[in-house]
Amino acid sequence: MDLQGILDTIFHEMQDRSDRGIVADYIPELAQVSPEHFAMSLCTADGQSFHVGAAEVPFSIQSISKVFTLALALGRLGDQLWTRVGREPSGLAFNSMVQLEHENGIPRNPFVNAGAIVVTDAILAGHAPREVLGEVLRFIRQAAGDDDIHINHRVAKSEQDTGHRNLALAHFMRAHGNLRNAPELSCGVYFHQCAIEMSTRQLAQAGRFLMGGDPAARLVSPARVRRINALMLTCGHYDGSGDFAYRVGLPGKSGVGGGILVIAPGRASIAVWSPGLDAQGNSRLGTLAVERLAQATQWSVFG
C-alpha cells in the first residue's frame, strides 16, 4: 500500500478546502494560530513513518494529553479510578456542567474536561505539581522516543487566566467529595498538561504504544491498551464521538489545538493537525483527513 501517496493526495485535497473551521479563540494564545496550517503523520507497526505538511511544527495538544494522563492513572490506580469517573459518552459539550450536576459530581468519562481534571487529581495525590508534570512529560517523551517535547508556558498561563469554567467544574466536584486536592492545584496541573506542544511527527510516534502490535513501544499492558482505545472510540470526540466513529471507524482523541491522535490497532498511529474547529471543538479538516485515510486504507475496527 502506497501510504505516502495516500497522504499526499489527502494533503492536496485539504489545501484546496476553504471550510477550515474556527480556531479556539476562547484561549487567547490559541486564537493567534493560523487556521491555514495542516500536517499529517503516520507511523506503522513495522516502524515506517510518513508525513505531509507542517509535520515538524509544534502545536498545543490540549485534550490529547488526556490519553497519556489516563494511561498513567490506570497504571497507578487500576480499576479503582472508575469509582471517580465513568466510561460512558456524554452527548454534551466537553465543558458542560449539566451532566455533572445530575450525576452528583461524577464525570461521565475521562475525556470530558471534568473527567480529565479528576484523572489529573488522581495522579497528583501525594505529589507536588512539578513532579506530576515531570512524570507526564517523561511518559510522553518515552512514548515518542523524543526528549524535545515541552510545555508552552504562555499557553498554560493563557488557560489559567481564562479557565474559570474548568475551575467551576473542579469546585463543584470538590463539593461532592470527588476532588482530593485544592481545585486550583488540580486545575493548574491540568492547564499545564494541556499546554504540552508536539508536532504531528512526535504525536504519531507517541501513539505507537496504543497500536498494540509493537512490544518495544508497549508502555502499558495489552488489556489497558484495549480499554483506552475503546474509550477513545466512544468518548474521544466529545459530543461528536458518534459521528467520528461512523465516519472514521477508528479510536481517536481530539484537542482544541486542532490536533487528533488516531489509532489503527495493530497497524498504525496517526496524527493530524489543522487548527480550525467545528462546532463540537474538533478539527474540521483533521476529521475529514482521517476519514479520507480510513477510506483509502480500509482500516477500521469494524472490519
Catalytic sites, residue numbers = 63, 66, 190, 238, 256
Alpha carbon 127 to its chain centroid, in Å, reads: 24
Q: Which residues of 250-270 are buried (b: 16+ CB within 10 A; e: fewer)?
A: bbbbbbbbbbbbbbbbebbbb
Mutual angle of helices 113-124 and 65-77, in 10-degree steps: 50
Dihedral of CA 152/154/160/164: which sign? negative
